[in-house]
Copies of this chain bind each other. A is one copy, B any other.
C-alpha cells in the first residue's frame, strides 16, 4: 500500500536510528512524496524493510505524531495528517520570527545595566530581593519602523554587550552562551499605549498595544530570563499552535 519510502540509515553515525528515520519521513512529507492522508506501511513491515526492530520504528513515528505531522489510529494505521498544520511555536524570540519572515530586524539598545531586583522581579527570577540583575531595554525595528518595546531582566549577566544585542537577538546570544531554554510561560494581553510608549513606537497616544510577559526557564527549572514586552498591534500579532496529545 504505502508509497515505498527509501530511507537510508547510517549505523555508524552518532545520530540515533529512530531520529534518522523520523527526519527522513518528515522530509518526504515536506517534499510531497507523502501527501496528506497517505497511509504509511504498518510498523512491522516498515521495521522489516529497514532492518530495524518495531520499537525503534515506533519511536520514530511517535516523535512525528508529537510534532503533529502524523496521526495514528489503532486498528487502522498511520497517516500523514490532512491539512497544513503550520509548524511553529518552538521557543523563539521576536528576532528569530522576523528573520524567518525575511525581514531585516534592527535593534536600538536604550539601556543595559545592573539593577537591584525589586520584590516582583526577584520573585519570578527566583533570587533574593535586592540581588543585582541585568536590566535591558530595547526598541526593535523592522522595515525601518518601530515594532516593539522590549524590557528584560536576567539573573546572571552572561557577558552581554550593547554591540552584540544591536546585531543579534537575545535568545540567540543566550543559546550561544550555552543556556538551554526549555520552558516558557507567557501571558498575553492588550492595553492602550502610554504617552512615553507612543512616542517611542511612533503611535498615537492610547493606540492599542499587544503585551506579553514571559518567563523562560532552563532544564533545571531555573529562570533564565524575564521579559515584559509591548508590540504595536497594528504591525504585529502572535501565532501559537497547540497540539493535544
Binding site for B on A (CB under 8 A): 36-37, 66, 68, 71, 73, 79, 81-83, 85-86, 89-91, 126, 181-192, 206-211, 217, 219-223, 233-234, 236-245
Select from chain B the residue with minimum beta-carbon distance to A209: B190
Select from chain B the residue with minimum beta-carbon distance to A180: B244
In contact, B82 and A222 (Cβ under 8 angstroms):
yes
In contact, B85 and A183 (Cβ under 8 angstroms):
yes
Partner of A220 from the list B71, B126, B187 (CB cut-off 8 Å) is B71
Whole-angstrom CA separation of A181 from B82 in the bound complex: 13
Select from chain B the residue with minimum beta-carbon distance to A126: B83
In contact, A85 and B217 (Cβ under 8 angstroms):
yes
| Across-interface contacts of A238 in B (CB, < 8 A) | 187-189
Whole-angstrom CA separation of A91 from B189 in the bound complex: 19
In contact, B68 and A183 (Cβ under 8 angstroms):
yes
In contact, A242 and B186 (Cβ under 8 angstroms):
yes
In contact, B83 and A186 (Cβ under 8 angstroms):
no
Whole-angstrom CA separation of A51 from B191 in the bound complex: 56
Partner of A73 from the list B79, B187, B219, B237 (CB cut-off 8 Å) is B219
A85 to chain B, nearest CB (A): 5
In contact, B182 and A243 (Cβ under 8 angstroms):
yes
| Across-interface contacts of A208 in B (CB, < 8 A) | 190-192, 208-209, 233
7 contacts between A and B (CB under 8 A): A66-B66, A66-B245, A71-B221, A183-B244, A189-B236, A190-B210, A206-B206
Whole-angstrom CA separation of A202 from B85 in the bound complex: 36
Check A242/B184 contact, CB under 8 A, given A206-B206, A220-B71.
yes
Select from chain B the residue with minimum beta-carbon distance to A210: B190
In contact, B241 and A185 (Cβ under 8 angstroms):
yes
Check A240/B237 contact, CB under 8 A, given A190-B208, A191-B208, A208-B190.
no
Whole-angstrom CA separation of A186 from B221 in the bound complex: 27
In contact, B239 and A187 (Cβ under 8 angstroms):
yes
| Across-interface contacts of A71 in B (CB, < 8 A) | 182, 219-221
| Across-interface contacts of A186 in B (CB, < 8 A) | 239-242
| Across-interface contacts of A185 in B (CB, < 8 A) | 85-86, 239-241
Select from chain B the residue with minimum beta-carbon distance to A221: B82
In contact, A191 and B221 (Cβ under 8 angstroms):
no
